[in-house]
Structure 1
């Protein structure tokens, strides 16, 4: 018999939970504090990335953060601030940034990414959301320096060992598939295992599909607290109403840790701000790419090309830092000879907050505090890629089905 499910959070993770739960016959309501038309699920690079097997918490990342701490235009920026939650997170992030952690994380990241890519393909092939963009052209890692080239080739060899399809390209081979590149570019690694999409298109179609299927979506409604009895959440309070449900899923992205404080649960989580610039005119870019030295993502989406990037830890805010937008634009122009990003395009830049755990792995699963609470957040830069897999796993967990993969490595109460 179906349960009543309340999903807090209307991004790709929350909507994916709703998608699979309604298919299992559950009665689902989604609540989100926003108008559900902006944020990380709308401004990301649209990548499906089995190739991204290295977690954000890796050797050398904390050193980079400290090095770039006073450069607000750097790719990885930690704004200096005396904030207890941030300091606890930073300490755990530093402890997690080891080679042993990377080795443990690689098979987990690969497995959940491959699962999620397959689920995107299933959605596409089913026709339920219409014929949305899902292009399996792979992902280019473009590098100018031998240092970045050597590093990415090491990752590529490890990805190949994990069964992922990848090839190394010389400059001559690169020019045949992507003309117009700067002569400074030395070569590329091509992850043929990856794919790309247009996030806005999928989000809009997913919301429409869910409403038709009977899922109730409450937008512009903020959760402000909970009522509980023993180990059960009995009510979820918003500024407009109180909701009762058999199961509560917290998929509120960067806001999830704040919601959990209302339940007496501390979850180490920080908002990692990313930016995007859209160019709605032909620019001659036909393959998605990451510009290695600049850490900028380039994606040819439906009707426009997106330039996205940076990781900024400055708390929960949507302040646009012009110097960071300018850094993305300058980097893109330095990799493509005919590209010029106009001032009005830079002025229309948007940002989104990605929820980042200290070890770069998502939080997926139940806690020991409440029997009817499930957490689904902390996906860092892979939120878009991992949305469907997270939704599927949460559905299997709540429906008491065999899990598609083990959730042990993603447990919300794991130690750092």
Structure 2
């Protein structure tokens, strides 16, 4: 028999959770504090990335963070601040950035990404959402320097051992792949295992399908409190109503830590802001790419090309830092000399908050303190890629079924 389940959060993770909970026969309500029309689920790079096997918390990242801390235009930026939660998270991040922990995380990240990629494909085949943009052109890691190329080649060798499709391209091979495009790069690693989508097309189609199928979606409604009794959430109080759920799924992205605090649960999470610029003019770009030295993502989407990047830890805010947007534009022009982002396109840049756990793995699993609470958050830069897999796992957890993957590594109560 289906359970009355409330999903807090209407981003890609929350909606995919609602989708699979619906498929399992549960009565689902999604509650979001916004109108679900912007934020990280709409302005991301749209990647499906089995190739992204190395978590953000990796050896050397803290050193880079300190080096870049005083350069607000750097790809990875931590705003200096005395904030106990941030300092605690940064310490956990440091403890997670070891070779041993990264090696253990690699197959876990690969497996959940592969599962999610195939679930996206199944969604398209099912016709539930109608037709939507989903391509498998792979991902180019473009590099200008030998150092960057050698660094990615080491990662590609690990990817090959995991059975992922990888090709090393010199300049001539790169030019042959996109002959209509002038690319100023020494070479590239092409991950044929990756795909891409258009988030701004997919999200409204998912919302429309859920609503037409009986899922209740409450927008512009904020969760204020949760009443706990006998180790379970008995009431969920919002700005507009009070709910009595059988199950609660916390998928509120960067706000998940704040909501967990209301339940006296410590969930280490920080908001990592990213920026995106859309160009609706023709660019000639047909294959997604990451401009390695600048950490900028390039995606040919339906009707436009998106340039996205940066990981900025400056708290939860929607401030657009012009110097960071300009850094993305500068990087694009360096790699694609014939593409120049104009003032109007720069002015239309958007930002989104990505929820980042200290070790780079998401939180997916039952709460050890609250028996009817399941976490689904902390996906960092892989939120879009891992939406369906997370939703599938959530539905299996709520339904008491054997999960498609071992969720142990994603435990919300894991130690850092």
Same fold (TM over 0.5): yes
SS in 1 for 2:53: coil
**Residue 152 (1) aligns with residue 157 (2):** no
Q: Runs in 1 of length 4+ with deviation above 3 angstroms?
A: 179-184
Give CA deviations for 1:190-215 in whole Å, capped at 9, x if unaligned.
00000000001110000000000000
- State the match for 1:9 in structure 2: 9
Partners of 2:19 and 2:183 lie apart in 1 by 46
Q: Could you tell me how far apart the structure 2 residues matched to 1:370 and 1:136 are?
A: 40
Alignment of 1:159-174 (within 5 A): 159-174=159-174
Q: Within 5 Å, which residues of 2 pair with 1:255-266?
A: 255-266=255-266
The structural deviation recorded for 1:183 is 6.4
Contact 1:159–1:166 (CA under 8 A) maintained in structure 2? yes
Give the alignment of 1:29-48 within 5 angstroms. Answer: 29-48=29-48
Other-structure match for 2:102: 102
In the alignment, the residues of structure 2 paired with residue 228 and residue 200 of structure 1 have an alpha-carbon distance, to the nearest angstrom, of 37
Structure-2 residue corresponding to 1:386? 386
Q: CA deviation at 1:178?
A: 2.0
In structure 2, how many angstroms separate the alpha carbons of the residues matched to 1:244 and 1:17? 19
How many residues were matched structurally?
Answer: 416
SS of residue paired to 2:383: helix
Residue 278 of structure 2 contacts residue 304 of structure 2 at CA under 8 Å; is this kept in 1?
A: yes
Paired residues for 1:136-285 under 5 Å? 136-179=136-179, 184-285=184-285
Kindly indicate whether the alpha-carbon contact (under 8 Å) linking 1:12 and 1:384 is maintained by their aligned counterparts in 2: yes
1:273-324: CA deviation from partner (whole Å, max 9, x where unpaired): 0000000010111110000000000000000000000000000000000000
Q: Does structure 2 conserve the Cα–Cα contact (< 8 Å) formed by 1:180 and 1:338?
A: no
Deviations 1:212-251 (A, max 9, x none): 0000000000001111112010011111111111000000
Note the residue ranges of structure 1 that are not aligned, 5 or more in a row: none
Separation in 2, partners of 1:250, 1:339: 41
Q: Contact conserved, 1:180 with 1:336, CA < 8 A, in 2?
A: no
Q: How does 1:80-99 map to 2 (within 5 A)?
A: 80-99=80-99
> Normalised by the size of structure 1, how large is the TM-score?
0.99
Q: Which moved more, 1:171-180 or 1:217-226?
A: 171-180
Q: CA deviation at 1:337?
A: 2.1
Task: Report how far residue 182 of structure 1 moved.
Answer: 5.6
Q: 1:70: Cα distance to partner?
A: 0.8
CA distance in 2, matches of 1:158, 1:14: 32
Partners of 1:179 and 1:252 in 2: CA distance:
43
CA-CA distance at 1:184 after TM superposition: 4.3
Instruction: Kindly indicate whether the alpha-carbon contact (under 8 Å) linking 2:184 and 2:336 is maintained by their aligned counterparts in 1.
Output: no
Indicate whether 1:350 and 2:350 are aligned. Answer: yes
Unaligned runs of 5+ in 2: none
Distance 2:186 2:69 in 1: 29
Tell me, in whole angstroms, the C-alpha distance in 1 between the residues paired with 2:265 and 2:297.
35
Cα offset, 1:177, TM superposition? 1.2
Match of 1:265, SS? coil
Look up the SS of the partner of 1:293 in the other structure.
Answer: helix
**How far off is 1:180 after superposition?**
6.0
Query: In the alignment, is the contact (CA less than 8 A) between 1:363 and 1:379 conserved in 2?
Result: yes
- Cα root mean square deviation, aligned: 0.8
Deviations 1:13-69 (CA, angstroms, capped at 9, x unpaired): 000000000111100000000010000000000000000000000000000000000
Alignment match, 1:368 = 368
Assess if the C-alpha contact under 8 Å between 2:175 and 2:183 holds in 1: no
Give how far 1:179 is off. 3.6
8 Å contact kept, 2:296–2:331: yes
Q: 1:316, 1:180 → 2: CA distance? A: 41
**What is the rounded CA distance, in whole Å, between the counterparts of 1:217 and 1:300 in structure 2?**
30
Q: The residue matched to 2:384 in structure 1 has which SS?
A: helix
